[in-house]
């Protein structure tokens, strides 16, 4: 069975340098309707070492296909929920 195709994202840093990220997974919170996207640096995804995961709240742009707007995660409650989802995801991958 073929693995689901994951989306790739190019995100500039504060200096304008572009970095390539692969989608780890995304999820939506039913109670708030907020959607979250977890990304890993493309060059580190297949690494056996611990990989840094980047989390964003996202909204899909209605006027453009396959385009999303990314927003920083701002509250401790959001971070706690994201960490719980990431832990669940990690356990399922083992």
88 lies in a domain?
yes
Domain holding 49, by residue range, is: 8-93
Q: Which residues contact 11 (CB under 8 A, 6 or more apart)?
A: 18, 19, 21, 39, 70
3 lies in a domain?
no
pTM of the model: 0.80
Q: Which residues contact 17 (CB under 8 A, 6 or more apart)?
A: none
2 lies in a domain?
no
Number of structural domains, the chain? Answer: 1
Q: Are 89 and 24 in contact (CB under 8 A)?
A: yes
* Burial (0-12, 13-18, 19+ Cβ within 10 Å), 78: middle
Beta strands in 29-92 (DSSP E): 35-41, 54-60, 68-71
pLDDT at 80: 94
72 lies in a domain?
yes
89 lies in a domain?
yes
Q: Which residues of the chain have pLDDT under 70?
A: 1-5, 44-48, 64-66
19 lies in a domain?
yes
1 lies in a domain?
no
pLDDT at 1: 36
């Amino acid at each position: 069975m073929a693995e689901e195709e994951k989306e790739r994202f190019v995100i500039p840093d504060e200096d304008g340098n572009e970095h390539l990220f692969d989608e780890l997974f995304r999820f939506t919170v039913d109670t708030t309707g907020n959607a979250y996207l977890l990304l890993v640096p493309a060059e580190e995804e297949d690494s056996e070492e611990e990989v840094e995961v980047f989390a964003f709240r996202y909204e899909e742009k209605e006027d453009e296909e396959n385009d999303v707007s990314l927003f920083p995660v701002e509250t401790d409650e959001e971070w706690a929920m994201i960490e719980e989802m990431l832990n669940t995801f990690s356990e399922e991958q083992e």
